[in-house]
Amino acid sequence: MILEALEAVFILLTALMIVYLIRHYVFTLTVLRRAKNAQKVDVVANAEFEPTVSILIPARDEEKVIGRLLQRMVELTYPKDKLQVIVIDDGSSDSTGRIADEYSSRYGFIEVLHREKRDGGKGKAAAMNAGFKHSTGEIILCFDADYYPQKDIVEKLAKEFADPNVGAVQGRVVVLNEPQNIVTRLVALERIGGYRVDQEARNDLGLIAQFGGTVGGFRRSLLESLGGWDESTLAEDTDLTFRVYLAGYKVHYVGDAECYEEAVDNWKAYRQQRYRWARGHMQCCFKHSLKVLKSKNLRVKEKIDGLLLLNVYFMPVIVLVSFIIGVPLIFFVSSKLVGALWFSMPISLYSFVGNFAPFFEVGIGAYLDGRTRIQWLIPLLIFTFCYNIPICTKAFLDLLVSKILRKDHNIWVKTSHLGNGNSYIMH
Amino acid sequence: MIPNLTSIIAILILGTTTLILIMLLPALLELKKPKDGGPRLITDNISEVQIQIMRMIPIASIEDEQKFDSALIQPLAKIIAILPSLEV
């Protein structure tokens, strides 16, 4: 009886993995087909559309990188009379505020919002809300302090808002310090799969393109009606993505709007960042799943993709559970041995080389970027796969315990940036 | 006819090790002597029209074009290299 129940769970979980696997194959084939039919390019949106734009830059102890970004803000090609840059100095204890003040004194469009130490450090969402109250632009864009965008990125992102159905936009993130070490290289691979293939395909297929919290932004009127960023979740970006869709608007992914980021460069920072993403994403899953199902503003395919997206950080947990259940099943259910082995095949295929961006997605993304040599590193994704299993499982268990005890207290562990990407910037 | 357990285990271990080595060998080589040109260079100041033109070039043909260019440029470079010696 117990074995039969376990077998049923095993088959259910495997089926779920197969669904994700098919989803990623569809995404990969979509971007490949798009690349082949490159003549069918999107019509450029109204080039004359130049709304006022406020750029929010939350910064807490970012003295190593903030100057680089502010210099880039000065170099942006967007008309400065339509641009407002707000640095939210979130209670920094280093010279972040002083550097920002220097830029502000030299350039009128750069403003600094200093938050007291007792107000700061409560997470990115709180800092963004403080900046949002201070902003005046029709469009609100966000950049993290360690980012380094193209000079014309504001034009590329803002033009999307000419379409009244677009509530938010998202640009592409490219890892700047990629050659630094194995961690940064693997993060770069994940980013290639995630943005070059995953986001682009979701956008092309009219599914749920995701706002990633940075290198993107919102229509002001929409953000006001949504009440800004939710400070109670660790994945405020995913939360906003779903609130945008539930409100009847779309998120547009703009692959041409590229921005460098300084990726985490050690396994501890990787773990802390992924734990935050996983736990935050799971919070959003509990918060939005039912709303997505009931929504009248979402089409069926958006609902399906939305649910798959909300549950994506459960996948490493599911893989772990499947392996734990699958092994005894192979040994103890002799009559179903062949069936069990057969069902373990898709698990191996799906999970061995990637949870969030499987190997073929990363490989095709690298190919489309014209980078063949980086594909040699793809087998190493097995390490991030293995590492994500305990990270996501812990995030799930912690969240479960906090829900049971009704103490869903978020601790925001900020990613430190040491300015290691500075040496890779070429002028 | 039936192989004993020890040889099965030995074959399994050897096979698995070989498979892992083969799988990871390219990655280890690339880590040891990186030949990748990364990070991806993002471009500035490219007009929307230029981007659209770039998109229209099928990706597979870019490498062919480069080969064609080098085949054309190399003889030209040799000719140009001789030119200064023609000056009196």
Q: What is the pLDDT at residue A82? A: 95
Mean pLDDT for the stretch of residues B37-43: 78
Give yes or no for residue A338 having a pLDDT over 70: no
Query: Among A87-96, A273-282, A395-404, B29-38, whose mean pLDDT is lowest?
Result: B29-38
Query: Among A161-175, A282-296, A314-328, whose mean pLDDT is lowest?
Result: A314-328
Q: What is the pLDDT at residue B51? A: 45
Any idea what DSSP says for residue B39? Answer: S
What are the φ and ψ backbone dihedral angles of A41, each rounded to 5 degrees?
A: -80, 155
**Portion of chain A with pLDDT greater than 70, in percent:** 90
**Identity of the residue in A179, A368, A379 whose CB atom sits nearest the CB atom of B59:** A368
Does the model's pTM come out above 0.90?
Answer: no
Q: Where are the domains of chain A?
A: 2-33+307-404, 52-137
A373, A381, A386: best to mutate for the B interface, most B CBs within 10 A: A373
Q: Is B59 on the interface with A (CB under 8 A)?
A: yes
Nearest CA in chain A to B49: A44
CA distance between the termini of chain A: 68
Q: Is B40 on the interface with A (CB under 8 A)?
A: yes
Q: How far apart are CA A120 and CA A211, in angstroms?
A: 24
Q: What is the pLDDT at residue A349? A: 58
- Using only the alpha carbons of chain A, give its radius of gyration: 22
> How far from the centroid of its chain's Cα atoms is residue A386's Cα?
20
Tell the burial category of A291 from Cβ atoms under 10 Å away from its Cβ (0-12, 13-18, 19+): middle
Q: Collect all residues with Cβ–Cβ distance below 8 Å to A303 and sequence separation of at least 6.
A: A292, A293, A295
Assess whether the previous peptide bond of B39 is cis (omega < 30° from 0): yes
Query: Among A25-29, A168-172, A191-195, A316-320, whose mean pLDDT is lowest?
Result: A316-320
C-alpha distances (whole Å) from A271 to each of A268, A330, A343 are 5, 32, 30
Q: Is B24 on the interface with A (CB under 8 A)?
A: yes
* Minimal C-alpha gap between B23 and chain A (Å): 6
What are the φ and ψ backbone dihedral angles of A231, each rounded to 5 degrees?
A: -80, -5
Kindly report, residue by residue over B54-81, the tens digit of the pLDDT: 444 444 444 444 454 566 566 666 666 6
Mean pLDDT for the stretch of residues A135-145: 96
Across chain A, mean pLDDT equals: 88
ipTM over 0.85: no
**Identity of the residue in A41, A151, A377 whose CB atom sits nearest the CB atom of B45:** A151
Q: How far apart are CA A181 and CA A66, in angstroms?
A: 23
Determine the topology of domain A52-137 in CATH: Spore Coat Polysaccharide Biosynthesis Protein SpsA; Chain A (3.90.550)
Q: What is the pLDDT at residue B61? A: 42
* Minimal C-alpha gap between B83 and chain A (Å): 34
Kindly report, residue by residue over A211-270, the tens digit of the pLDDT: 999 999 999 999 999 999 999 888 999 999 999 999 999 999 999 999 999 999 999 999
> Which chain A residues contact residue B29 at CB under 8 A?
376
Whether the CB-CB separation of A116 and A130 falls below 8 Å is answered with no
Q: How far apart are CA A277 and CA A338, in angstroms?
A: 38
B21, B40, B52: best to mutate for the A interface, most A CBs within 10 A: B40
Kindly report, residue by residue over A3-38, the tens digit of the pLDDT: 788 888 888 888 888 888 889 999 999 999 988 877
Q: What is the pLDDT at residue A142? A: 96
Q: Which amino acid is at A133?
A: K
Q: How far apart are CA A404 and CA A104, in angstroms?
A: 47
Query: Among A41-55, A79-93, A332-346, A408-422, whose mean pLDDT is lowest?
Result: A332-346
Mean pLDDT for the stretch of residues A185-209: 95
Mean pLDDT for the stretch of residues A419-427: 67
Q: What is the pLDDT at residue A343? A: 63
Nearest CA in chain B to A175: B39
> Which chain B residues contact residue A367 at CB under 8 A?
59
Q: Is A377 on the interface with B (CB under 8 A)?
A: yes
What are the φ and ψ backbone dihedral angles of A274, each rounded to 5 degrees?
A: -70, -35
Mean pLDDT for the stretch of residues A138-164: 95
Give yes or no for residue A138 having a pLDDT over 60: yes
Q: How far apart are CA B29 and CA A397, in angstroms?
A: 39
Give yes or no for residue A300 having a pLDDT over 70: yes
Whether the CB-CB separation of B41 and A176 falls below 8 Å is answered with no
Q: Where are the domains of chain B?
A: 5-86
Mean pLDDT for the stretch of residues A59-86: 94
Q: What is the pLDDT at residue A21? A: 85
Whether the CB-CB separation of A285 and A317 falls below 8 Å is answered with no
**Identity of the residue in A188, A370, A377 whose CB atom sits nearest the CB atom of B62:** A370
* Minimal C-alpha gap between B70 and chain A (Å): 18
> Which chain A residues contact residue B35 at CB under 8 A?
373
Query: Which of A179-191 are b and which e, b meaning 16 or more Cβ less than 10 Å from the residue's Cβ?
Result: bbeebbbbbbbbb
